[in-house]
A and B are shown apart, each in its own frame.
Chain A
Amino acid sequence: MSITEQNLNSAGMSGEQAENKPEEGYFTRLLSQVPAGYWVLAVVLLLMPSVASNFVLFQIFGWTFILGMIALSLMFLAGYGGMVSIVQMTVAGIAGYMVAIIGPSAITDISLGWPWWINIPLALVIATVFGSLTGALAVRTEGIYTIMITLAIASAFFYFARQNYVMFNGFQGFNGVLPPELFGVNWRGPKAFYYLTLFWATVSFLVVQYVSRAPFGLALQGVRDNARRMEALGFNVTAHRIAAYAFAALIAGVGGILLTWQSAQISPGTIGVGPVIDVLVIAVIGGMKRPIGPFIGAFIYVVLKTFAIDILVSLGMSGDRFQLLIGLGFLLIVFFSPDGILGLWERLRSSKNRDPLLDKDGGGL
């Protein structure tokens, strides 16, 4: 069984085996591999605006999709490439800063006010270049050293942005950073923003899922498992890793632009060490084995962050200790399931399906 089918099958839904079907078009074959659960999820998400409140659409789901994308870029690097990059929120922040600097914002002294069709692509290019440069520095290190280097870059950029007033407007950052009114739609309207973020989250999810089985993604997983062997198969491992950083930076960049539009502002607080590490927390909570994990993690994180204050206050505790709940949740998940909610779900499933005589499924707790 090839990776995708195995992935999809173990995700809990019966995936159709492509080989058993008569030869159809390439695209139909791809579609037939999508398990039923994902179709249900797609319908639910598409119909959500007809029932959910504006707050839920904009604040809960909009934010979930955005953080999910940024964590997805980390999942791609860490899950497929074995490279834990702490810098993904910084990459997102750079894309956000660039739309504010190159495009219009309330800080008219600095912002160039260029139109969206230059502004957005340029912001993404700059974020991708930054991600690749970080990658070029980080790929020669392994494990904890990768984490340290990327963390150092992330905090260096945070302090730089906070102290630089000429370009980054220091502590204040930029406000009034609004999405262009394309097709006459106000994209910050709750429903419009919901669909906008849903669209880009879906695109990034599908692209990552697709690339994971294309030569590039497959080779990345090979590099993760055995870099020396990949060299001996003719792969330039360093170049491959840097390319992975560039690809991940593009996804994070899209997320960063959406994040900036959501709050209509970007400031050093967006890319501080806290938010930077939150991305790692989100990816770990969700699970880094498959692209759906970061979105699950982001949903849990956003719900906790939004409602923790109410829960704490109703328990008679101080509301500003909401980080405590997130921290506890993180501890519990890491303790009981090092591979996140996804891993927990898989083990529950496999223990339910396990043959008690043969103990065939093996993946017990």
Chain B
Amino acid sequence: MEQMKETVLEYIVDEYLDEDDEDEVFYDSPLISSGIVDSFSMVSLKRFIENKYSIKLPDEEATPEAFDTVNSICKLVNKHLG
């Protein structure tokens, strides 16, 4: 689980924050509600996770709430990893 959190967090920092961004992101930092990741960009984040873990996340479960923190994302991924 920790490894997964690290991977997802690293991807978010690389893709959605700029190099000189002063915002720090942690496992429990809000992503969607803070505006770091908007609802359209969430699609590419979802795609990354699906590719990385070879799973398919149903649209009805990939809600802004479920994607709002690294912790909640990893919880959803784990559910689908069985």
Chain A complexes with chain B: no
Question: Which residues in A have some Cβ–Cβ distance to B below 8 Å?
Answer: none
